[in-house]
Amino acid sequence: MAKSDPLLEAARDGAGEQELLDIDLPATFRASFIRKDEVGIFEGQTDKDVRRSMHVGDVDMPELAPDECVVAVMSAAINFNTVWSAIFEPVPTFAFLAKFGRQGWYGARHDLPYHILGSDGSGVVVRTGVGVKNWKVGDRVVISPSYVDEEDHGSYDDGMMSESQLAWGFETNFGSLGDYCIVKANQLIRKPRHLSWEEAGSNTLCAATAYRMLVGKHGAQMKQGDVVLIWGATGGLGSYATQLVKNGGGIPVGVVSSEDKADLVRAQGCEHVINRNDLDLGEQGLRHPKAGRMLGEAIRGLVGEDPGIVFEYLGRETFGASVYVAKRGGRIVTCGSSTGFKHEYDNRFLWMRLKSIIGSHGFNYHEAVETNRLFSLGMIHPTLSKVFSLEDAGEATRAVQTNQHIGKVAVLCGATAEGQGVDDPAMRERIGEEKLTLFRR
Ligand SMILES: NC(=O)c1ccc[n+]([C@@H]2O[C@H](COP(=O)([O-])OP(=O)(O)OC[C@H]3O[C@@H](n4cnc5c(N)ncnc54)[C@H](OP(=O)(O)O)[C@@H]3O)[C@@H](O)[C@H]2O)c1
Taking the centre of ligand 1 as the mean of its atom positions, its distance from the CA of residue 362, in whole angstroms, is: 14
Mean of the pLDDT values across residues 374-395?
98
Domain map (residue ranges) of the chain: 6-206+363-440, 222-359
Arithmetic mean of pLDDT, 85-94: 97
Which of 95, 249, 269, 93 lies closest to 175 in space, CA to CA? 93
C-beta of residue 229 within 8 angstroms of C-beta of residue 299:
yes
| 3-state per-residue secondary structure call for 281-348 | CHHHHHHCCCHHHHHHHHHHHHHCCCCCEEEECCHHHCHHHHHHHCCCCCEEEECCCCCCCCCCCCHH
User: Comparing C-alpha atoms, which of 252, 250, 214 is closest to residue 231?
Assistant: 252
212 lines ligand 1 (CB under 6 A): no
Smallest CA separation from ligand 1 atom 22, residue: 235
- Ligand 1 closest atom vs CA 81: 47
Which atom, in ligand 1's list, is nearest to the CA of 360?
Answer: 1
Residue nearest to atom 25 of ligand 1 (CA): 232
Q: Which atom of ligand 1 is nearest to the CA of 255?
A: 41
Supply the pLDDT for residue 285: 85
Given pLDDT bands bounded at 50, 70 and 90, which one contains residue 2?
low
**What residues have CB less than 8 Å from 326, skipping those under 6 apart?**
229, 306, 307, 308, 309, 310, 332, 353, 355
Ligand 1 contacts CB of residue 79 (under 6 A): yes
Mean pLDDT score, 387-415: 97
Give the closest residue (by CA) to ligand 1 atom 43.
235
Nearest CA to ligand 1 atom 35: 232
* Digit-coded pLDDT (tens) for 116-131: 999 999 999 999 999 9
Q: What ligand 1 atom has the least distance to the C-alpha of 362? A: 3
The fourth-level CATH superfamily of domain 6-206+363-440 is Medium-chain alcohol dehydrogenases, catalytic domain (3.90.180.10)
H/E stretch holding 223 reads none
Nearest protein CA to atom 39 of ligand 1, as residue: 257
- Examine the pLDDT at 280 and tell me if it is beyond 90: no
Query: What share of the chain has pLDDT > 90, as a percent?
Result: 94
More confident residue, 255 or 283: 255
Tell me, in angstroms, the distance from the centre of ligand 1 to residue 398's CA: 14
What is the model's pLDDT at position 127?
A: 98
Ligand 1, atom 40: nearest CA belongs to which residue? 256
* pLDDT (0 to 100) of residue 1: 47
Report the alpha-carbon distance of residue 298 to residue 277 in Å, rounded.
12
For residue range 323-380, list pLDDT tens digits in order: 999 999 999 999 999 999 999 999 999 999 999 999 999 999 999 999 999 999 999 9
- Confirm or reject: Cβ of 275 under 6 Å from ligand 1: no
CATH 3.40.50.720 fits 222-359, yes or no: yes
Measured distance CA(111)–CA(97) in Å, rounded: 5
pLDDT at position 406 over 80: yes
Ligand 1 and 206: CB distance under 6 A: yes
Q: How many helices (H) and strands (E) does the chain have?
A: 16, 18
Q: How far is the CA of 209 from the centre of ligand 1 (A)?
A: 12
pTM of the model: 0.96
Q: According to the model, what pLDDT value does residue 381 have?
A: 98
For residue 104, report the distance from its CA to the centre of ligand 1, in Å: 35
Separation between Cα atoms, residue 269 and residue 56, nearest integer Å:
39
Mean pLDDT of the chain: 96
- Tell me what the mean pLDDT of segment 238-242 comes to: 98
Q: Quick: pLDDT tens for 15-36.
A: 999 999 999 999 999 999 999 9
The yes-or-no answer to whether 6-206+363-440 and 222-359 have a common fold is: no
Q: What does the pLDDT read at residue 105?
A: 87
| 406 Cα–ligand 1 center, Å | 10
Minimal-distance CA residue to ligand 1 atom 14: 236
pLDDT single digits (tens) 59-68: 999 999 999 9
Q: Is 208 in the pocket of ligand 1 (CB under 6 A)?
A: no
